[in-house]
């Protein structure tokens, strides 16, 4: 396993972090985690060098932290740095911050959190952080030994990121970054700013919800197949990120043991060391980025923060079908038609949206979900 050191607090972390956001399921219910398999996967990763495990209050409808806590019993807790996140949107009064921390310590079966994040900051939640003195609550928790390092995860534009990172002496931060999102949200400039301030950066969405792994559009698959340098889609995505300095750990939300083993292989090889990309590889990935970003599509990562929809709309599913149609072109019309027909049969298509607005405040990508669902409906009512 390749490791990187956080000079700010002299800690070596595995370059691969285990994300507890997409654990294996026993049914279609996101709260119904296949506990036995999830625990097996987490422990296998730790046994093979992973020492950073990440979860959050909201993941798997509150069940992820419980399963991670079970997985870290039997001596595994002592082998890892544990990360979870304070649910910023749930903090309505100053005392709520500590209340949620205590509940998380109980769920995770531990007396401290190593890396504690203020979850999903945007301009609105940042105002809440300041108004409700969350920084002061975190410093008190640090003095009491309940958290070691305090940071934030981020989902807004670059100007907001600059304000947040310059306001306090953060221990670390977490941003979304992959080869499609270099100029999105904090992006590469945010990484540069954090690096210059000596603030370690954790990367989320390196595969963009699986889009850069198993959901590539046809043109991207063809470009990779025709490239003289052969890498798998996952290898390309991780090489792009690990080539950079300033990145401490890259989170991967793994759903199968096969994914765990493949990631361990990649992150234990020379291809994921700093400065690993040669001139030809950089040129290829830049060409791929340019071609992909020139196409218009809905920037949904499939994180499911918007779910469940009160009226049963499969929001990520609707966006996925739309993206397949638009990214791959009408050569994929039959696939898109069939997928959308299944959504209609189950009543989870875009036409089921009643515009209640419950989803939009939860979206880390700040997608205008209601208007995008209208676009999906228009396209597929014409197509299907």
* For helices 218-226 and 279-293, angle between their N-to-C axes, nearest 10 degrees: 160
| CA angle, 293 then 296 then 302, to 5° | 85
Q: Could you report the per-residue pLDDT of 222-262, keeping only the tens digit for each?
A: 999 999 999 999 999 999 999 998 999 999 999 999 999 99
Q: Is residue 300 part of a domain?
A: no
User: Is 310 within a domain?
Assistant: no
Q: What is the pLDDT of residues 81-134, one digit of tens each?
A: 999 999 999 999 999 999 999 999 999 999 999 999 999 999 999 999 999 999
Q: At 43, which CATH number?
A: 3.20.20.100
Which of 260, 292, 324 is at the close of a domain? 292
Query: Domain check: are 232 and 323 in the same one?
Result: no
Look-up of token digits 């990367």: 203
Residues in the chain: 384
Pairing, β 3-6 against β 11-14: antiparallel
Same domain, 272 and 324: no
DSSP characters over 60-126 = GGGTHHHHHHHHTTTTTGGGSEEEEEE-GGG--SHHHHHHHHHHHHHHHT-S-EEEEEEEEE-HHHH
CA dihedral 98, 61, 213, 181 (to 10 degrees): -50
Q: How many CA atoms, within 13 angstroms, populate the side-chain half-sphere of residue 145?
A: 2
| Same structural domain, 188 and 116 | yes
Whether 305 is covered by a domain: the verdict is no
Question: Where is pLDDT greater, at 114 or 341?
Answer: 114
Looking at the fold, whether 23 and 138 belong to one and the same domain comes out as: yes
Instruction: Please tell me whether residues 224 and 328 are part of one structural domain.
Output: no
pTM: 0.81
In angstroms, rounded to a whole number, what is the distance separating the alpha carbons of residues 333 and 325?
6
**Same domain? 271 vs 345:** no
Any domain includes 299: no
Q: What end-to-end distance do the CA atoms of the chain give, in Å?
A: 48
Confidence of residue 210 (pLDDT cuts 50, 70, 90): confident
Q: Is residue 170 part of a domain?
A: yes
Provide the b/e sequence for 198-207 (b: ≥16 CB within 10 Å).
ebbbbbbbbb
pLDDT digits (tens, 9 = 90+) for 279-320: 999 999 999 988 887 765 787 878 888 999 999 999 999 988
Say if residue 123 is in the same domain as residue 214.
Answer: yes
Asked if residue 336 and residue 279 are part of one domain, the reply reads no
pLDDT of 37: 98
Give the mean pLDDT of 153-169: 94
State the Cα–Cα distance between residues 224 and 285, nearest whole angstrom: 10
Domain span including residue 134 = 3-292
Please state the separation of Cα 99 from the chain's center in Å: 25
Boundary (domain end) residue, out of 225, 257, 292:
292
Indicate the pairing of strand 201-204 with strand 16-19: unpaired
The answer to whether the CB of 108 falls within 8 A of the CB of 69 is yes
pLDDT 10s digits, 165-195:
999 999 999 999 999 888 888 999 999 999 9
Residue 196: is its pLDDT beyond 60? Answer: yes
The answer to whether 65 and 87 are in contact (CB under 8 A) is no
Higher pLDDT, 338 or 200: 200
Averaged pLDDT score across all residues of the chain: 92
Question: Among residues 183, 185, 125, which one has the least CA distance to residue 158?
Answer: 185
- Torsion sign over Cα 194, 198, 202, 203: positive
Dihedral over Cα of 371, 374, 378, 380: its sign: positive
For residue 304, being part of any structural domain is answered with no
Distance CA 26, CA 33 (A): 6
330 pLDDT above the threshold of 60: no
376 and 245 housed in the same domain = no
Token reading at 181: 């999102």
297 within domain boundaries? no
Residues 242 and 361 in one domain: no
Q: What average pLDDT does this structure show over 342-350?
A: 90
**Predicted pLDDT at 333:** 66
308 preceded by a cis bond (ω within 30 of 0): yes
Predicted pLDDT at 331: 44
The pLDDT tens digits of the residues spanning 40-79 come to 999 999 999 999 999 999 999 999 999 999 999 999 999 9
Assess whether 102 and 143 both reside in one domain: yes
**Residue bearing tokens 């003195």:** 133
Residue 253 lies in a domain: yes
Q: pLDDT value at position 327?
A: 62
Number of domains present in the structure of the chain:
2
The reply to whether 143 and 258 lie within a common domain is: yes
């Amino acid at each position: 396993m390749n490791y990187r050191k956080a000079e700010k607090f002299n800690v070596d972390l595995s370059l691969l972090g285990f994300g507890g956001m997409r654990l294996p399921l026993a049914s279609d219910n996101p709260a119904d985690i296949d506990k036995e398999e999830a625990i097996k996967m987490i422990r296998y990763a730790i046994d093979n060098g992973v020492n950073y495990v990440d979860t959050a209050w909201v993941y798997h409808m509150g069940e992820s932290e419980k399963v991670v806590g079970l997985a870290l019993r039997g001596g595994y807790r002592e082998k890892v740095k544990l990360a979870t996140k304070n649910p910023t949107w749930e903090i309505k009064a100053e005392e709520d911050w500590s209340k949620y921390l205590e509940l998380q310590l109980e769920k995770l079966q531990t007396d401290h959190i190593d890396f504690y994040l203020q979850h999903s900051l945007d301009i609105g939640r940042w105002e809440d952080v300041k108004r409700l003195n969350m920084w002061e609550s975190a410093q008190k928790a640090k003095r009491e030994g309940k958290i070691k390092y305090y940071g934030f995860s981020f989902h807004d534009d670059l100007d907001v990121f600059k304000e947040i990172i310059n306001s306090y002496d953060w221990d670390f931060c977490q941003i979304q970054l992959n080869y499609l999102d270099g100029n999105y949200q904090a992006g590469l400039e945010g990484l540069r700013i954090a690096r210059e301030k000596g603030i370690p950066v954790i990367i989320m969405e390196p595969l963009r919800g699986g889009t850069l792994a198993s959901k590539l559009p046809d043109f991207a698959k063809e470009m990779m197949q025709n490239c003289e340098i052969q890498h798998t889609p996952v290898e390309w995505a991780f090489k792009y990120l690990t080539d950079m300095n300033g990145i401490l750990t890259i989170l991967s939300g793994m759903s199968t043991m096969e994914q765990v083993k493949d990631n361990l292989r990649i992150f234990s090889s020379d291809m994921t060391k700093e400065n690993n990309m040669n001139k030809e590889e950089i040129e290829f990935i830049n060409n791929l980025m340019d071609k992909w970003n020139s196409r218009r599509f809905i920037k949904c990562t499939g994180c499911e923060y918007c779910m469940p929809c009160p009226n049963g709309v499969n929001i990520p599913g609707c966006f996925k079908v739309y993206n397949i149609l638009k990214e791959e072109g009408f050569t994929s019309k039959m696939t898109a038609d069939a997928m959308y027909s299944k959504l209609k049969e189950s009543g989870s298509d875009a036409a089921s949206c009643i515009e209640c607005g419950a989803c939009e405040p939860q979206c880390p990508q700040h997608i205008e979900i209601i208007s995008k669902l209208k676009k999906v409906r228009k396209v597929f009512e014409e197509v299907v």
